[in-house]
C-alpha cells in the first residue's frame, strides 16, 4: 500500500468513527478528522459531556458494524450558500467554509455514506478522497481520548479528540502495538525522572535538571566543546535578551514574531512601570531571544573583516526561548526554553563547499559517537511555484541548492528531497533521528542564509581590496540539548554507556567490617576520574545490588574479606552479570579502555 493509499484509508476511518460517535452522541458537533502517522483522530465538541473508556468500546464496536455493512462513500458538492445553510448549526464547519470562500472556492465538497438499501447513513463536509466502500479500511483500534483546542489555539474552545491506530493488516497493527509497549518502557518522561523535572509552577516547557541530569548534560557539553575546538571552531557567548531593533533588523520580528515572547518594557523605575498606562512610550524594548544568530552577526560587524580571516566558525551553546502552544509541548522533545548547540560559519563563496562537507561529516561523527544509527537526511529546497515566500534571488538559490545537493551526493548521504521545506532564508540539510516507533525527530541541521548578510550589510575586504558579501551557514549538530538528551534516554532505555553514565560504578561492601576497604577502592577509582559512589547503607547486599541494577549502573563492585586480602573487586557488569574477582588496577585499565572507545 502506498503512502497516499494509507492516508486515504485512515481518513476514511475517521469518517466512520464520526458516524459511530453520532449514533451515541447525536448532539456532538463535528470538526476535523485527519490521517496521522500511525492512524487518525477526530475532534468533537460535546458540550459538557466527556467521552469515557466505556464509550470508546461502544464506538469501536459500532465502527466494526459499519465496516461490515460495506457502506459506500459518495462524493457530492454544494454551492457555498447551500453548504452554509446545511451546516448552519456547526460553527466549526462554517468557519472553514468562510475560509474556503475567501480563497475563491465556489463549491464545497461533501461525502456521505450510503448502505446497501440506498439509505444515507452519514454526511460530512470533506475534501476527500475516500475509499469506495467501508470494508476497504484495514485494521484499526481506538486508542485514547485527549483534549485539543480548536485549530490548536489556546484562545479557542477545548474539544475532545479520539485517537486511533490504523494499518493495512491486523499483523501490522499488532506489531505496532508491541512497539508501543516498548516505547512506553523507554519513555524519557518516565525513566528520566531522576534526571529532570517539569514543574508547572516554574512554567510549561521549562525543564529543571536534577544532579544526575545536570551531570549528564555537562558530560555531553564537555564532549561538544572538546570536539568543536578540535574542528577549528572558536567560542562566543551572547545574552538571553536583545533589543526589539535587533529583531526588526534581522527580520525575526516580521517573520517569526508569533513564536517570540512578548516585548519586555524597560522603564526608569517600578513606579513608572506600574503607571505605564500614562507613559507614552517605554524607554527601551527587549525580547527573549528565539535564536542566537543576530548576536553572532553583530560580533562579526564589530570590526572590519578581511578575506584572510575567513572562514570564521563561531560556536555557542546558547539558551533560546520560543513560544510553543501548550498542547504541542512534549517532555524534553518540545519545550519553550532550550539550549541550541549553535554555530555560524561565515565564509567566501569559494569556501562554501569545503565547509558544508566538514559540517556534514561532523554531524555523522556526532551521531556515531552517541550510538544513533537510524536517521534520515532531507534536502529541504525552495518551492519554485511560491518564490515570494523566500528571501534572495534566483541566482543565489540556484547556487546554494546545487552546491548543497553536490555535497550530499559526494558524501553519499542518501538524502530525500523535500520541496518547499527550505527556510525562508535558504536551503538546508536536515538530519532526523528515528525513535523506537519510527517517529522522526529533527536534530541536526545545516542551513544557508541569504537574509542576515543582506539585512545587516555584512561585508569583508576581498583580495582586490573591495567589499564583498560573505556567505553564512547556520548549523546545529544536536539541535537542542533537551531533545537530544530525551532521545538518548529512550535510545538507551536509560542504560547509558559507561562514558555517559552519571554514575559509572557503585562499590558495595559486604558488611560494615569492609567499609574502609570500600572507601579505599572508591578513592582510587576517583583518582582515575571515574564517577563512583559507595553504598554502605544498613541493607542486605542483595537489596543494594538490586537497587544499583534498577538505577542501571554499568558496574557494581562488591568487596569483602577475600577482595580486601587480594586487593581485588568482585565485578558485576550490566547486561553480563557476575564476572568474578578482578585486580583493581586491571579493572581500572579495562574501564578506561571502554571510555576511550565510548562504550
DSSP letter string, 377-445: EEEEE--TT-GGGS-S-HHHHHHHHHHHHHHHHHTT---EEEET-SBTTB-EEEEEEE-TT--EEEEEE
What is the pLDDT at residue 598? 87
Rounded mean pLDDT, 283-294: 86
What is the pLDDT at residue 270? 53
Say if residue 236 is in the same domain as residue 248.
no
Task: Confirm whether 195 is domain-assigned.
Answer: no
Considering only CA atoms, which of 174, 179, 217 is closest in space to residue 195?
Answer: 217
Task: Confirm whether 183 is domain-assigned.
Answer: no
Name the strands in the sheet holding 428-434, side by side, starting at the edge strand that comes first in the sequence: 234-235, 312-321, 337-347, 471-476, 440-449, 428-434, 375-381, 416-419
Three-class DSSP category at 166: strand
Question: Measured between alpha carbons, how far is 413 from 395 in angstroms, rounded to an integer?
Answer: 25
Say if residue 86 is in the same domain as residue 57.
yes
CB contact set of 177 (below 8 Å; sequence gap of 6+) = 141, 165
Assess contact for 504 and 531: CB atoms under 8 A: yes
Say if residue 532 is in the same domain as residue 569.
yes
Grid look-up 564537555 returns 222
pTM listed for this prediction? 0.82
Whether residue 437 is predicted with pLDDT greater than 80 in this model: the reply is no
The beta-strand segments (E) located in 34-106 are 35-36, 39-45, 72-79
What is the pLDDT at residue 414? 87
What is the pLDDT at residue 283? 64
Three-class DSSP category at 237: coil
Task: Confirm whether 175 is domain-assigned.
Answer: no
Band of residue 61 on the pLDDT scale cut at 50, 70, 90 = very high
Final residue in a domain of this structure, among 170, 189, 217 = 170
CA 80 to chain centre: 40
Say if residue 77 is in the same domain as residue 216.
no
Q: Where are the alpha helices (DSSP H) in 275-388?
A: 293-301, 352-369
Q: Which pLDDT tens digit goes with each residue over 322-362?
A: 988 887 888 999 999 999 999 999 999 999 999 999 999 99
Q: Does the active-site annotation cover 598?
A: no
Q: Does the active-site annotation cover 193?
A: no
Say if residue 544 is in the same domain as residue 533.
yes
| Count of structural domains, the chain | 4
Q: Does the active-site annotation cover 428?
A: yes
Final residue in a domain of this structure, among 464, 491, 518 = 491
Whether residue 441 is predicted with pLDDT greater than 80 in this model: the reply is yes
For residue 543, the enclosing domain spans 505-596
Please give the mean pLDDT across all residues of the chain.
91
Say if residue 385 is in the same domain as residue 247.
no
Assess contact for 139 and 168: CB atoms under 8 A: yes
Q: Which residue has the higher pLDDT, 324 or 229?
A: 229
Whether residue 540 is predicted with pLDDT greater than 90 in this model: the reply is yes
Final residue in a domain of this structure, among 491, 521, 536 = 491
CATH number at residue 527: 3.40.50.800
CB contact set of 388 (below 8 Å; sequence gap of 6+) = none
Say if residue 40 is in the same domain as residue 127.
yes
CA 17 to chain centre: 30
Whether residue 254 is predicted with pLDDT greater than 80 in this model: the reply is no
Q: Does the active-site annotation cover 322?
A: yes
Which of 43, 341, 342, 435 is labelled catalytic?
342
Under DSSP, the state recorded for 538 is S
Question: Measured between alpha carbons, how far is 174 from 188 in angstroms, rounded to an integer?
Answer: 23
Say if residue 549 is in the same domain as residue 571.
yes
Which of 72, 289, 305, 344 is labelled catalytic?
344
Q: Does the active-site annotation cover 342?
A: yes
Q: Which pLDDT tens digit goes with each residue over 193-207?
A: 999 999 999 999 999
Which of 130, 252, 322, 483 is labelled catalytic?
322
Say if residue 69 is in the same domain as residue 30.
yes
Whether residue 18 is predicted with pLDDT greater than 90 in this model: the reply is yes
CATH number at residue 220: 3.30.930.10
Task: Confirm whether 280 is domain-assigned.
Answer: yes
Task: Confirm whether 325 is domain-assigned.
Answer: yes
Q: Which pLDDT tens digit goes with each residue over 454-470?
A: 889 999 999 999 999 99
Whether residue 274 is predicted with pLDDT greater than 60 in this model: the reply is no
Whether residue 142 is predicted with pLDDT greater than 80 in this model: the reply is yes
Tell me whether strands 416-419 and 375-381 are parallel, antiparallel or unpaired.
Answer: parallel
Which of 19, 71, 143, 340 is labelled catalytic?
340
Say if residue 409 is in the same domain as residue 422.
yes
Assess contact for 475 and 359: CB atoms under 8 A: yes
Assess contact for 547 and 541: CB atoms under 8 A: no
- Find the largest Cα–Cα distance for the chain: 93
Whether residue 253 is predicted with pLDDT greater than 90 in this model: the reply is no
Task: Confirm whether 196 is domain-assigned.
Answer: no
What is the pLDDT at residue 286? 87
Task: Confirm whether 12 is domain-assigned.
Answer: yes
Which of 428, 491, 572, 574 is labelled catalytic?
428
Task: Confirm whether 166 is domain-assigned.
Answer: yes
Rounded mean pLDDT, 69-76: 96
Q: Does the active-site annotation cover 516?
A: no
Which of 126, 160, 252, 293 is labelled catalytic?
293
Residue 251 has which C-alpha cell? Answer: 527580520
Say if residue 303 is in the same domain as residue 445.
yes
Say if residue 317 is in the same domain as residue 284.
no
Q: Does the active-site annotation cover 11?
A: no
Which of 474, 475, 491, 572 is labelled catalytic?
474
Rounded mean pLDDT, 98-113: 93
CATH number at residue 106: 3.30.980.10
What is the pLDDT at residue 484? 95
Amino acid at each position: 500500500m502506498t503512502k497516499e493509499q494509507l492516508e486515504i484509508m485512515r481518513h476514511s476511518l475517521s469518517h466512520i468513527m464520526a458516524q459511530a460517535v453520532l449514533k451515541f452522541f447525536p448532539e456532538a458537533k463535528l470538526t476535523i478528522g485527519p490521517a496521522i502517522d500511525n492512524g487518525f483522530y477526530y475532534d468533537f465538541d460535546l458540550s459538557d459531556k466527556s467521552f469515557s473508556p466505556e464509550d470508546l468500546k461502544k464506538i469501536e464496536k459500532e465502527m466494526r458494524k459499519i465496516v461490515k455493512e460495506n457502506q459506500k462513500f459518495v462524493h457530492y458538492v454544494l454551492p457555498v450558500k447551500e453548504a452554509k445553510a446545511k451546516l448552519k448549526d456547526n460553527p466549526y464547519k462554517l468557519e472553514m467554509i468562510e475560509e474556503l470562500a475567501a480563497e475563491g472556492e465556489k463549491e464545497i465538497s461533501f461525502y456521505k455514506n450510503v448502505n446497501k438499501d440506498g439509505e444515507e447513513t452519514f454526511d460530512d463536509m470533506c475534501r476527500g478522497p475516500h475509499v469506495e466502500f467501508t470494508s476497504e479500511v484495514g485494521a484499526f483500534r481506538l486508542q485514547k481520548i485527549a483534549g485539543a483546542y480548536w485549530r490548536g489555539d489556546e484562545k479557542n474552545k477545548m474539544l475532545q479528540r479520539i485517537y486511533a491506530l490504523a494499518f493495512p493488516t491486523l499483523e501490522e497493527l499488532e506489531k505496532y502495538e508491541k512497539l508501543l509497549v516498548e516505547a512506553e518502557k523507554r519513555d524519557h518522561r518516565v525513566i528520566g525522572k531522576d534526571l529532570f523535572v517539569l514543574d508547572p509552577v516554574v512554567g510549561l516547557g521549562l525543564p529543571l535538571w536534577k544532579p544526575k541530569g545536570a551531570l549528564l548534560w555537562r558530560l555531553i557539553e564537555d564532549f561538544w566543546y572538546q570536539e568543536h575546538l578540535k574542528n577549528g571552531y572558536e567560542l562566543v557567548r551572547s545574552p538571553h535578551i536583545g533589543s526589539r531593533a535587533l529583531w526588526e533588523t534581522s527580520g525575526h520580528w516580521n517573520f517569526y514574531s508569533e513564536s517570540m515572547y512578548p516585548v519586555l518594557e524597560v522603564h526608569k523605575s517600578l513606579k513608572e512601570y506600574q503607571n505605564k498606562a500614562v507613559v507614552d512610550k517605554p524607554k527601551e524594548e527587549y525580547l527573549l531571544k528565539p535564536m542566537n544568530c543576530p548576536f553572532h552577526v553583530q560580533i562579526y560587524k564589530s570590526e572590519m573583516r578581511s578575506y584572510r580571516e575567513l572562514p570564521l566558525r563561531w560556536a555557542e551553546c546558547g539558551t533560546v526561548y520560543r513560544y510553543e502552544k501548550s498542547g504541542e509541548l512534549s517532555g524534553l522533545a518540545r519545550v519553550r526554553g532550550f539550549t541550541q548547540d549553535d554555530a555560524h560559519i561565515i565564509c567566501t563563496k569559494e569556501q562554501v563547499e569545503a565547509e558544508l562537507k566538514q559540517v556534514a561529516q561532523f554531524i555523522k561523527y556526532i551521531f556515531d559517537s552517541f550510538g544513533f544509527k537510524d536517521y534520515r537526511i532531507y534536502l529541504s529546497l525552495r518551492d519554485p511555484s511560491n518564490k515570494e515566500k523566500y528571501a534572495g534571488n534566483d541566482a543565489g538559490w540556484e547556487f546554494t541548492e546545487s552546491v548543497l545537493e553536490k555535497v550530499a551526493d559526494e558524501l553519499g548521504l542518501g538524502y530525500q528531497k523535500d520541496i518547499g521545506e527550505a527556510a525562508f532564508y535558504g536551503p538546508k540539510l536536515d538530519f532526523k533521528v528515528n525513535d523506537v516507533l519510527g517517529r522522526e525527530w529533527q536534530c541536526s541541521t545545516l542551513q544557508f542564509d541569504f537574509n542576515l548578510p543582506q539585512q545587516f550589510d555584512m561585508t569583508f575586504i576581498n583580495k582586490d581590496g573591495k567589499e564583498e558579501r560573505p556567505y553564512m551557514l547556520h548549523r546545529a549538530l544536536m539541535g537542542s540539548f533537551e531533545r537530544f538528551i530525551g532521545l538518548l534516554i529512550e535510545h538507551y532505555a536509560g542504560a547509558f554507556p559507561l562514558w555517559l553514565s552519571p554514575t559509572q560504578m557503585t562499590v558495595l561492601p559486604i558488611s560494615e567490617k569492609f567499609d574502609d576497604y570500600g572507601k579505599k577502592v572508591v578513592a582510587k577509582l576517583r583518582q582515575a576520574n571515574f564517577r563512583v559512589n559507595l553504598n554502605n547503607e544498613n541493607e542486605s547486599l542483595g537489596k543494594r545490588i538490586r537497587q544499583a541494577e534498577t538505577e542501571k549502573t554499568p558496574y557494581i563492585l562488591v568487596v569483602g574479606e577475600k577482595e580486601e586480602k587480594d586487593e581485588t573487586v568482585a565485578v558485576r557488569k550490566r547486561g553480563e552479570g557476575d564476572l568474578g574477582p578482578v585486580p583493581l588496577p586491571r579493572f581500572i585499565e579495562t574501564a578506561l579502555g571502554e571510555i576511550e572507545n565510548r562504550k
